[in-house]
Structure 1
Amino acid sequence: MAKKYIVTVNGTSYEVVVEDADPNATYTKAPEPAQEAPKAAPAAAPAAAPAPAPAAAGNGEKVTSPLPGTVLKVLAKQGAAVKSGDVLCIIEAMKMENEIMAPCDGTVSAVSVSEGASVNAGDPLFVIS
């Protein structure tokens, strides 16, 4: 005798029918599914672009966006002292947060972006003097 059940999976309801097993029938176990080949490790996030060559004296070091994305946070303010490797801002690209770091020691002399702004690769972000 078959029995009907309603099963809900991820908010979607399905009607299923389950039949009683025949006690006189012989059953064999289904073969094990073939094992999947190991998946390749996900590609690493693109590394930050190498720092551009130092600008002419007095102009400061320009920090540009290494990739297109949206500025999530601006951590460095104009006039702030920064050291090489300090995080200046965070850019979200493809659901990943990328830290943009200071390429050198100095003072932030210009901030060219604001939170929520869209940037393209090569767009100016900061100038460090």
Structure 2
Amino acid sequence: MKHYEITVDGQVYQVTLREISEAEAKQKSTAAPQPAAPAAAPAQAPVSSGTEIPAPMAGNVLSILVKPGDQVKTGDVLLILEAMKMENEIVSPMDGVVSEVLTETGQTVESGQLLIMI
């Protein structure tokens, strides 16, 4: 076993790697991969106005599905953010009205950057 430390988006992780044999690799590659469950939106208490929706990770804004004045419900997709070649749905944590869209399609955003206000 080998131990490594990696940094991803400023977050430090310690990982352990174990070398496997060819037979183990073949056995694992023939097993059907389980799809990952989509990440749930963090629970937030409803706020009457000014709820900030930040980017959970750095990436590129592929599409914005709402505009100021739009009524949204908890779980509605607000925009699609591409990060690490995966499309991530950014969802509304609450019912409300979109008050401001702070990004645009094609823009590169950093982790924590404000995207939308509800």
TM-score range, shorter chain: 0.5 to 0.7
Correspondence for 1:65: 55
Structure number with greater Rg is: 1
Correspondence for 2:9: none
Q: More deviation in 43-52 or 67-76? A: 43-52
**What is the identity, as a one-letter code, of the residue corresponding to 2:36?**
A
Flag structure 2 segments of 5+ consecutive residues without an equivalent: 1-21
Identity %: 50
Correspondence for 2:36: 44
Per-residue CA deviation, residues 10-60 of structure 1 (Å, 9 max, x unaligned), is xxxxxxxxxxxxxxxxxxxxxxx96822137478377256255555x5x42
1:110 Cα offset (Å): 0.8
Change (3 A) 1:51 1:69: farther
Correspondence for 1:74: 64
Correspondence for 1:88: 78
Normalized per residue, which structure has more helix? 2
Change (3 A) 1:48 1:91: farther
One of 97, 104, 110 as aligned partner of 1:114:
104
Correspondence for 1:20: none
TM-score using structure 2 length: 0.66
Aligned length: 94
TM-score using structure 1 length: 0.61
